[in-house]
Amino acid sequence: MLQRLSLGMLLLCAFSAAAVCEWPGWQQYKQFYISPQGRVIDPSSPNKITTSEGQSYGLFFALVANDRPTFDRLLAWTENNLAAGDLSARLPAWLWGESDDKQWKVLDANSASDADLWIAYNLLEAGRLWKSRRYQTLGTLLLQRIGREEVADIPGLGLMLLPGKVGFVAEDRWRLNPSYLPPQLLARFAALNGPWRAMRQVNQRLWLDSAPHGFSPDWVVWRVGTGWQPDTVKPNVGSYDAIRVYLWAGMLADDDEHKAALLARFQPMAQLTAKQGVPPEKTDTARGKTT
């Protein structure tokens, strides 16, 4: 579906006199959040942080808007500041900003796999739509690195995306974030070498099994011999991470083989949101209660 969206927007832009699509939301986003150098800034944080996730979404919006100059600035800043100058050689750090000693630098060198996947997707699609071998090659190499460094073969579950390179495996437990792996991206990657095709069924199982009452958790733990367990940090809480699960499910193409089961499972969230007019801020995923 995302391929269709980006291609459709680019086709619309192709018939416009301007090189960049006339998309007011994108122009406002650039004005308020993106520096001239290509850094997506979080103005709500006191140290004006930048995350790899922010960079990845900025790249996607630039691709959809057919805004290649901004895409290149975002990519250059990401590569130079989060990946030490080479996205093909290392995963980007997830957090950058002003440190306590007033230095602008990487604040946490660990990776965030959702951002890494989006960056790889953006590069592959940019390579296809803008006919750029450089984008295509860089996206392929980044995706291969993600497969080596952020994917685990979990006993009793199978191949699954870890939320980052380090910090999510402890003895017989794996901590997972359902919102980190949009099925759309897996569908795009399935034809390529790597674990992506095998992960589609495992990811579907994660989404369905971790939401017994129709509400997805932010985090969940898989334990060998026991299966799904509440997260140790945020047990049975669905909130600002999990909201993306419903977004990805709703945006799936209607002919996707996994969509019907997902829409059926998440009907409680859809119905409650329709009744209230807004989604709940937090859900108790074990009891199906919301606040």
* Active-site entry in 67, 114, 150, 218: 114
Among residues 53, 67, 79, 125, the one annotated as catalytic is: 53
Determine the Cα–Cα distance for residues 117 and 190; give it in Å rounded to an integer.
Answer: 13
DSSP category for residue 215: -
Q: How far apart are CA 132 and CA 123, in angstroms?
A: 9
Domains of the chain in start order, with CATH, are: 1-149 (1.50.10.10), 151-291 (1.50.10.10)
CA 62 – CA 6 distance, rounded (Å): 10
Q: Inform me whether the pLDDT recorded for 286 exceeds 90.
A: yes
Judge whether 114 counts as a catalytic residue: yes
Residue with tokens 């990805």: 248
Please report which confidence band the pLDDT of residue 6 belongs to, taking 50, 70 and 90 as the band edges. low
Q: Is 125 a catalytic residue?
A: no
Nearest partner of 234 among 221, 222, 224, judged by Cα: 221
More confident site: 13 or 158: 158
| pLDDT given at position 15 | 43
Residue 11 reports pLDDT greater than 60 = no
